[in-house]
């Protein structure tokens, strides 16, 4: 019998967890039934992102997801010289969904995006795009993916239009979307200028136009707003929102949290390569608390409590969590009780505040240092 260490690497990758490292031959024989049971396992529930996804493992132990997501990461790992930079990361992105990928520098965001695009080989786990494995069916998986992950290189002596036309010829794409892509990023007027005359922001916009050429179903962007002026950022944001309305899925990594908040409907936070939290953004059913500015907060709390509305006292305010349609009733109760009301405002917590709260909870400041 061949030692498991001599098995083909593709199969051994998934058998390996059944065997302890540096095991003796006798230990390997004892562990063999466990490995075989792993290979013939029935479909199992694997947590991907915010929910459970049915995943079946075939005879080689490889995952075959049964979900209809545009993008799935299944227990993704990446190690460099034995040091993990992405740890057991699972994520699910549906068609038309805009998801923000957030984390501090060195958290593993760019490495994750590079593994999705097949630019880096995962140390473990699997990436599926439209049900196709990036590792085994790279061409089919990436056929409808547009991406800007690293600084794009262009021919400086060619114009922006000629660079895109060259890309169409190399990829076998029709040039019918060339004008539309240039217009989407605001480069129509500069399309016939040599790229060597482009500013950093213009080169970034040309890279985005390149990503849009193949009419992607999944768009992956790493810091796409870098180098863009406010007008260009606004136009790009509007175009990204319109793409998601048309069913294009978006995975966006950016340090401009205000822009992520305006484009995405969900954010995934990673730190040290691990998923540390998920937050919905602006989804239906999320009602922020209402703060009432009043002259007598303790009395206002008592009035609202008598009306069946729990509230808490703030600085010259009382705050209550209640549906939007019940706010007029709360105001009437306060006014009928002769409580002066100076205003009512929704209490919102910005993405930046939530992000900092989660990362501080995960990595508290050492004693004596400010949080």
Q: Is residue 128 part of a domain?
A: no
Q: Is residue 256 part of a domain?
A: no
What three-state secondary structure class fits 107?
coil
359 — phi, psi (to 5°)? -70, -35
Q: Is residue 201 part of a domain?
A: no
Place of tokens 């993405």: 351
Place of tokens 């209490």: 347
Place of tokens 């294009």: 248
Q: Cα separations (Å) of 49 from 14, 108, 260?
A: 22, 16, 18
Q: Contact, 198 vs 232, CB < 8 A?
A: no
pTM (2 d.p.): 0.67
Q: Is residue 117 part of a domain?
A: no
Q: Is residue 257 part of a domain?
A: no
CA angle, residues 252, 138, 278, in degrees to nearest 5: 30
Q: What's the pLDDT score for residue 11?
A: 36
Q: What's the pLDDT score for residue 362?
A: 62
Residue by residue, DSSP assigns 69-133 as -SEEEEEEEEEETTEEEEEEEEEEE-TT-EEEEE--TTSSHHHHHHHHTTSS--SEEEEEETTEE
Tally of domains in the chain: 2
CATH value at residue 303: 3.30.70
Q: Is residue 272 part of a domain?
A: no
Q: Is residue 120 part of a domain?
A: no
Q: What's the pLDDT score for residue 360?
A: 65
Q: What's the pLDDT score for residue 35?
A: 41
Q: Contact, 167 vs 175, CB < 8 A?
A: no
Place of tokens 């699997």: 126
Q: How far is CA 272 from the centre of its chain?
A: 16
Q: Contact, 72 vs 92, CB < 8 A?
A: yes
Q: Give the single-character DSSP code of 7.
A: S
Nearest to 99 by CA among 280, 269, 264: 264
Q: What's the pLDDT score for residue 369?
A: 39
Q: Which domain holds residue 33?
A: 4-39
Number of residues that make up the chain: 371
What three-state secondary structure class fits 45?
strand
Q: Is residue 83 part of a domain?
A: no
Instruction: Give 342: exposed, middle or buried? Use CB within 10 Å, 0-12, 13-18, 19+.
Output: exposed
pLDDT means per 10 residues, the chain with 371 residues, are: 41 37 44 42 42 47 62 92 90 92 87 93 92 91 88 89 92 86 87 91 87 90 82 81 89 85 88 84 64 91 90 86 86 92 80 69 50 38
CA distance 312 to 299: 11
CA distance 260 to 27: 51
């Amino acid at each position: 019998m061949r030692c498991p260490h001599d098995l083909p690497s593709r199969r051994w990758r998934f058998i390996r967890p059944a065997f302890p490292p540096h095991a003796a031959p006798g230990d390997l024989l004892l562990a063999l039934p466990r490995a075989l049971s792993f290979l013939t396992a029935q479909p199992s529930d694997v947590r991907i992102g915010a929910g459970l996804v049915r995943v079946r493992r075939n005879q080689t132990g490889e995952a075959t997801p049964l979900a209809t997501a545009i993008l799935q990461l299944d227990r993704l790992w990446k190690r460099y010289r034995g040091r993990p930079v992405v740890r057991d990361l699972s994520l699910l992105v549906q068609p038309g969904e805009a998801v923000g990928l957030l984390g501090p520098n060195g958290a593993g965001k760019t490495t994750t995006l590079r593994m999705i695009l097949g630019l880096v080989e995962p140390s473990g786990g699997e990436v599926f795009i439209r049900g196709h494995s990036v590792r085994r069916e790279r061409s089919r998986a990436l056929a409808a993916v547009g991406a800007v992950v690293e600084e794009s290189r262009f021919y400086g002596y060619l114009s922006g239009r000629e660079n895109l036309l060259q890309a169409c010829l190399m990829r076998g794409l029709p040039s019918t979307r060339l004008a539309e892509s240039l217009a989407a990023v605001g480069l129509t007027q500069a399309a016939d200028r040599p790229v060597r005359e482009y500013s950093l922001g213009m080169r970034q916009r040309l890279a985005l136009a390149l990503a849009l050429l193949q009419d992607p179903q999944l768009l992956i962007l790493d810091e796409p707003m870098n180098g863009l002026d406010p007008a260009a950022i606004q136009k790009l944001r509007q175009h990204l929102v319109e793409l998601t309305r048309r069913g294009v899925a978006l995975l966006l990594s950016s340090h401009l949290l205000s822009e992520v908040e305006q484009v995405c409907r969900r954010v995934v936070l990673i730190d040290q390569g691990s998923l540390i939290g998920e937050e919905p953004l602006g989804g239906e059913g999320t009602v922020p608390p209402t703060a009432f500015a009043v002259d007598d907060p303790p009395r206002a709390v008592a009035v609202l409590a008598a009306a069946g509305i729990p509230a808490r006292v703030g600085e010259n305010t009382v705050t209550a969590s209640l549906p939007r349609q019940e706010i007029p009733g709360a105001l009437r109760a306060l006014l009928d009780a002769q409580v002066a009301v100076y205003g009512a405002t929704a209490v919102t917590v910005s993405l930046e505040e939530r992000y900092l709260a989660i990362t501080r909870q995960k990595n508290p400041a050492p004693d004596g240092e400010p949080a």
